[in-house]
Structure 1
Amino acid sequence: MTVHFGAVTVDWLGLATVRLEGRTGTVVYFDPGPEEYGVLDGYEPRDGDLVLVSHDHHYDPDSIRRVARDDAVVLVHESIDADGIERLVDQPESLPYDVERVRADEGFVLGPLDLFTTPAHNDPDGPHVDENGEPHHPPGRGCGFGVTIDGVCAFWPGDTDALESHEELAVDLFLPPIGGTFTMDRHEAAALVGRMRPDLVLPVHYDTFPAIAADEEAFVVDVARRSVPVVLESPHRD
């Protein structure tokens, strides 16, 4: 099922991969892949004008090649380094696209699109840490992305806890992770939704593998009780 919201269509393809298409035909992808989770199996449209990659766990050159046009712009967080990724991947600059590195917490215009980035990390003193007590996503190692396409501001916060800075954002479409373990869980995401008050919520980043299993129906009930519109979409690659 494709979600239609204002002038934009939204498709969740699995994990954090989301495709946005505006009325004017501009196509944006958040975090395509990685292939190891089967997110883009059988899917290779190569129609993306803009590809956004939030951090190294979601950086996958093969997946980017599946979705990006030949003349695509690819924005990656400044910390992404192929040498530090266990999977054998190329450095972003070796990709055959216009590749730019971005910091967290900046804003810019790219053609007809307005974009901003936000910090994305786990609190070292919070619940989303590994067996050694280290955050799965340390501060400075990733970002969230907001993009306004044909009047709709869509925001993917990245793999992150719910942060106080999120509450200040005015967004139309919020795409929160709800799987927990590595990110905010459904309870934390619902509470954040209540403080942000977006026009529509579409949860992502859950049920791709056991560690991020979530009760999405319970999330819907929790968000609906806060009088915020919410929709579910099963991952698909039509």
Structure 2
Amino acid sequence: MTVRFGAVTVDWLGLATIRLAGETGVVIYVDPGPEEYGVLEGSNPRDGDLILVSHDHHYDPDSIRRVAHGDAIVVVHESIDADEIDRIDERPEDLPYDVERVRADESFVLGPLDLFTTPAYNDPDGPHVDERGDPYHPEGQGCGFAVTVDGVTAFWPGDTDALSYHEDVDVDLFLPPIGGTFTMDRREAAELAGVTVPDLVLPVHYDTFPAIEADADAFVVDVANRGVPVVIDDQ
């Protein structure tokens, strides 16, 4: 799915993978995922200037290599530990790029880009917990990313519940997960969109596998009824 929004072209490439390309030529990938999820299947664009990785579930060195060019900067949440990920044995610092670790809830500048992070987690007393009652994403184990590209501030909150932190986020393009189970669902995301009132909502992180199937059409109606523009993948 490709959307033109202001000076930025936005592609949702499956699961949580988002590509942002500004008119000035900068290209950003958020949480690049593996081909098994249909993300850039058979393609190795290697055009990414900045790669953002929100937490360990979305850390995949092979996917980073597929999208990053040789001089790319890779920004990962501070908690990502390859030793704790069954399928991974390569630390972020071992990647052939300039790698930076970030905390949740901080602001920084990378060249022409302004970025900030937000906390991303599941409330242990909420619905997004496993069979033991443990949150799928504990507090402190991930973040959301907002990045301003050519005057457009795009915000991916990460794999998270809708949190009070999000209500004060001032963004132009909101990219919420709506699949539920591991994140906020479509109703929670629509409510949050109604509070933050972005200029456009483009939902992601749904329909990749059964546990995160969502009624995207119902989400569109819910968001539109709140007076917020919204677009979805129409495949």
Q: TM-score range by the shorter chain?
A: over 0.9
For 1:199, the aligned partner's letter is D
Contact 1:35 1:60 in 2 (8 A): no
8 A contact 2:156–2:175 mirrored in 1: yes
CA distance in 2, matches of 1:70, 1:2: 25
Describe the SS at the equivalent of 1:123: coil
Deviation for aligned residue 1:197:
0.4
Matches within 5 A, 1:85-100: 85-100=85-100
Superposed CA deviations along residues 99-136 of structure 1, whole A, max 9, x for unmatched, are 01000000011000000000000000000000000000
| Superposed displacement of residue 34, structure 1 | 3.2
* SS class of match (1:222): helix
Q: Which runs of 5+ in 2 are unaligned?
A: none
Matched ranges for 1:1-238 at <5 A: 1-233=1-233
User: Gaps (5+ residues) in structure 1?
Assistant: none
Query: Residue 108 of structure 1 contacts residue 114 of structure 1 at CA under 8 Å; is this kept in 2?
Result: yes
What is the deviation of 1:234? 5.2
**Residues 234 and 29 from structure 1, CA distance in 2 versus in 1: closer, same or farther, beyond 3 angstroms?**
farther
Amino acid at match of 1:224: A
Per the normalisation by structure 1, the TM-score is 0.97
Deviation at 1:42, TM superposition (A): 1.1
State the alpha-carbon separation in 2 of the partners of residues 102 and 142 from structure 1: 10
The answer to whether the 8 Å contact 1:173/1:198 transfers is yes
- Identity rate of aligned residues, in percent? 78
- Counterpart Cα distance in 1 of 2:198 and 2:29: 20
Q: Deviations over 1:189-233 (max 9, x none)?
A: 000000010000000000000000000000000000000000012
CA distance in 1 between counterparts of 2:22 and 2:188 reads 30
Q: Which runs of 4+ in 1 moved over 3 A?
A: none
Determine the C-alpha separation between the residues in 1 that align with 2:173 and 2:108: 19
TM-score (structure 2 length as normaliser): 0.98
* Residue identity in the other structure for 2:107: G
Q: Residues 146-193 of structure 1, C-alpha deviation per residue, up to 9 Å, x if partnerless?
A: 000000000000000000110101000000000000000000000000
Contact 1:177–1:185 under 8 Å retained in 2 = yes
SS at 2:206's partner residue? Answer: coil
Aligned-partner residue type, residue 50 of structure 1: L
Q: Which has the higher contact order (CA 8 A, sep 6+)?
A: 1
* Superposed displacement of residue 41, structure 1: 1.5
**Equivalent AA in structure 2 for residue 103 of structure 1:** R
Letter in 2 for 1:66: R
